[in-house]
């Protein structure tokens, strides 16, 4: 396999799909050497097949807003790869959503799900619907209209959507209600991230953030360090950032920054429980701003308009917001300020030049598909509980999540340790995730 040749072909065909091409390029570059040790992969054209989604559904979503006006959005589901299990992955509601973004996310999801050790294929979906500023009733009507199309292509053994940016417990509730009405069966296994009264798993809301911190802890331990007392900067204030702030604080770290599209909140002494709880209130305002945080905690925090979390001095940086949120200039600022560990929690949160800067400086860096896999892993645990018609205690779920994150970390170390001892977590995660899917595809023939 020649990564450059495959990329050139994809670039010709999908020149508009920047995020998709970026995600594929990163994986191909890191697996090329290992892949070429397997002539059987080459013969079966595994890599040429794995980069293309198995199926894409694209549909129109029409709904009526509170003023009585008709609104039209695009809806999608990308069923990327089903070699190791049914398609599994979230739904994103954000104005930027298009096929490039969903193909990148579905591709990443395939390898992430493979890393979790659970039998889940990769999928992703969503809409360009913007939930910011919408009323509950508008969100409900949109979710119902979206599910009116989606329900035919999902199922507990075929494709299991969940949340992502813009889709949380409220949206999953509205979508599940509509699914149940259309399908006429109480089939909880069809969506994950459900409410705990009707089939949801304990710890699922916290799982992405908790898992990210468990991974970070293992990464620091491997380097002979401990998270206790370290300064942590976190971007975002959504569900993932909230879980990360909660666990980082529990583990004795100081969360010195959170951020939103409007700027950063600097918290020199670190967050306390009241502040962490307030993140949920901030999110619930549906305004997508963090400025009110500094008004609520004026003596302990400061709002700096237009700045990112990376402008605040920290030991560990945890991007928890959006793809490509860390640019090369941000990476340089972090390095200048002495940051020595970056765990990407958002999917593809760092631009390629930023990753290169971290790796060149030989600081610890781990990619999203390993660090944030605790979310989908706990979705997998929710599916198991649904299939068995039981629910586990929070401790049981948390213990399993912890051991899954440890095994993901171990897989990264196994496949990513370079001759000079540096652990290239990007390479490790990509090779470990890829190998399992590639072998499964080989076993299942040309389909």
Binding residues for ligand GLU restricted to 12-71, rule: CB under 6 A: none
CB closer to ligand GLU out of 88 and 134: 88
CB closer to ligand GLU out of 164 and 300: 164
CB closer to ligand GLU out of 82 and 347: 347
* Residues 345, 9: Cα–Cα separation, whole Å: 30
Q: Report the nearest approach of ligand GLU to the CB of residue 161 (Å).
A: 7
Q: Report the nearest approach of ligand GLU to the CB of residue 269 (Å).
A: 32
User: Judged by CB under 6 A, does residue 89 bind ligand GLU?
Assistant: yes
Please indicate whether residue 124 is annotated as part of the active site. Answer: yes
User: Judged by CB under 6 A, does residue 188 bind ligand GLU?
Assistant: no
Among 212, 271, 376, 426, binds ligand GLU (CB under 6 A): 376
Structure token pair of residue 142: 């949109």
CB closer to ligand GLU out of 241 and 275: 241
User: Judged by CB under 6 A, does residue 192 bind ligand GLU?
Assistant: yes
User: Judged by CB under 6 A, does residue 75 bind ligand GLU?
Assistant: no
Structure token pair of residue 130: 């913007």
Q: Is 57 exposed, middle or buried (0-12, 13-18, 19+ CB in 10 A)?
A: middle
Binding residues for ligand GLU restricted to 333-372, rule: CB under 6 A: 347, 372
Residue 364 pairs in a beta bridge with 341
| Length of the chain measured in residues | 447
Q: Report the nearest approach of ligand GLU to the CB of residue 378 (Å).
A: 7
Among 379, 385, 386, 430, binds ligand GLU (CB under 6 A): 379
Residues 6+ apart with CB under 8 A from 109: 80, 88, 89, 122, 123, 124, 376
CB closer to ligand GLU out of 88 and 427: 88
Phi, psi of 390, rounded to the nearest 5 degrees: -140, 170
3-state secondary structure of 88: strand
* Residues 102, 144: Cα–Cα separation, whole Å: 21
CA 118 to chain CA centroid, nearest Å: 16
User: Judged by CB under 6 A, does residue 247 bind ligand GLU?
Assistant: no
Stretches 20-28, 66-74, 242-250, 375-383: which one binds ligand GLU (CB under 6 A)?
A: 375-383
Per the CB < 8 A criterion, the answer to whether 416 and 431 are in contact is yes
Stretches 11-19, 86-94, 136-144, 226-234: which one binds ligand GLU (CB under 6 A)?
A: 86-94
Per the CB < 8 A criterion, the answer to whether 266 and 256 are in contact is yes
User: Judged by CB under 6 A, does residue 206 bind ligand GLU?
Assistant: no
Q: Where does 261-381 show beta strands of DSSP type E?
A: 263-266, 302-305, 316-318, 341-343, 364-366
Among 85, 90, 131, 367, binds ligand GLU (CB under 6 A): 90
Stretches 140-148, 182-190, 227-235, 373-381: which one binds ligand GLU (CB under 6 A)?
A: 373-381
Residues in contact with ligand GLU, counted by CB under 6 A, come to a total of 12
Tokens 């999953």 found at: 172
3-state secondary structure of 320: coil
Per the CB < 8 A criterion, the answer to whether 316 and 233 are in contact is yes
Tokens 């600022």 found at: 333
CB closer to ligand GLU out of 260 and 375: 375
First to last CA, the chain: 20
User: Judged by CB under 6 A, does residue 375 bind ligand GLU?
Assistant: yes
User: Judged by CB under 6 A, does residue 162 bind ligand GLU?
Assistant: yes
What CA–CA distances, in Å, run from 70 to 65, 73, 341?
6, 10, 48
Q: Report the nearest approach of ligand GLU to the CB of residue 187 (Å).
A: 16
Among 3, 20, 31, 88, binds ligand GLU (CB under 6 A): 88
Structure token pair of residue 443: 């076993």
Q: Where does 109-188 show beta strands of DSSP type E?
A: 122-127, 159-162
Tally of CB atoms within 10 A around 210 = 25
CB closer to ligand GLU out of 122 and 416: 122
Select which of 88, 103, 112, 124 is catalytic: 124
User: Judged by CB under 6 A, does residue 400 bind ligand GLU?
Assistant: no
Q: Report the nearest approach of ligand GLU to the CB of residue 323 (Å).
A: 11
Q: Is 328 exposed, middle or buried (0-12, 13-18, 19+ CB in 10 A)?
A: middle
Among 128, 159, 164, 206, binds ligand GLU (CB under 6 A): 164
CB closer to ligand GLU out of 270 and 375: 375
* Residues 274, 142: Cα–Cα separation, whole Å: 33
Q: Which active-site residues does the annotation give?
A: 124
Site of interaction with ligand GLU (CB under 6 A) = 88-90, 112, 162, 164, 192, 347, 372, 375-376, 379
């Amino acid at each position: 396999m020649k990564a450059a040749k495959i990329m050139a072909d994809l670039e010709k065909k999908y020149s508009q799909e920047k995020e998709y091409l970026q995600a594929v390029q990163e994986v191909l570059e890191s697996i090329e050497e290992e892949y070429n040790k397997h002539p059987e992969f080459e013969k079966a054209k595994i890599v040429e097949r794995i980069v293309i989604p198995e199926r894409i559904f694209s549909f129109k979503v029409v709904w009526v807003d509170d003023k009585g006006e008709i609104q039209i959005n695009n809806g999608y589901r990308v069923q990327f790869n089903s070699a190791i299990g049914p398609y599994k992955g979230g739904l994103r509601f954000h104005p930027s959503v298009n096929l490039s973004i969903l193909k990148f996310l579905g591709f990443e999801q395939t390898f992430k799900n493979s890393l979790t050790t659970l039998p889940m294929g990769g999928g992703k979906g969503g809409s360009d619907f913007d939930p910011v500023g919408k009323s509950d009733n508008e969100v409900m009507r949109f979710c119902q209209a979206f599910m009116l199309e989606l329900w035919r292509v999902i199922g507990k053994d075929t494709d299991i959507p969940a949340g992502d940016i813009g889709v949380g417990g409220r949206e999953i509730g509205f979508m599940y209600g509509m699914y149940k009405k259309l399908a006429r069966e109480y089939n909880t296994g069809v969506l994950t991230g459900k409410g705990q009264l009707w089939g949801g798993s304990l710890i699922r809301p916290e799982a992405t953030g908790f898992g990210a911190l468990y991974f970070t802890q293992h990464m620091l331990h491997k380097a002979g360090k401990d998270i206790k007392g370290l300064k942590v900067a976190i971007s975002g204030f959504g569900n993932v950032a909230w879980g990360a702030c909660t666990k980082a604080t529990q583990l004795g770290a100081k969360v010195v920054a959170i951020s939103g599209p409007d700027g950063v909140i600097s918290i020199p002494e670190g967050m306390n429980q009241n502040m962490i709880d307030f993140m949920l209130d901030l999110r619930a305002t549906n305004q997508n701003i963090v400025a009110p945080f500094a008004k609520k905690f004026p003596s302990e925090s400061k709002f700096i308009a237009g700045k990112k979390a990376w402008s605040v001095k920290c030991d560990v940086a945890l991007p928890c917001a959006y793809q490509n949120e860390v640019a090369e200039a941000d990476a340089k600022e972090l390095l200048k300020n002495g940051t020595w560990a970056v765990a990407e929690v958002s999917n593809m949160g760092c631009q390629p030049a930023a990753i290169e800067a971290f790796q060149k400086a030989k600081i610890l860096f781990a990619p999203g598909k390993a660090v944030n896999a605790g979310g989908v892993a706990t979705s997998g645990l929710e599916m198991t509980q649904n299939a068995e018609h039981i629910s586990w205690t929070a401790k049981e779920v948390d213990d399993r999540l912890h051991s899954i994150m440890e095994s993901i970390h171990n897989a990264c170390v196994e496949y990513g340790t370079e001759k000079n001892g540096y652990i290239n977590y990007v390479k490790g995660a990509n090779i470990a995730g890829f190998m399992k899917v590639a072998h499964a595809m080989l076993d299942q023939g040309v389909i």
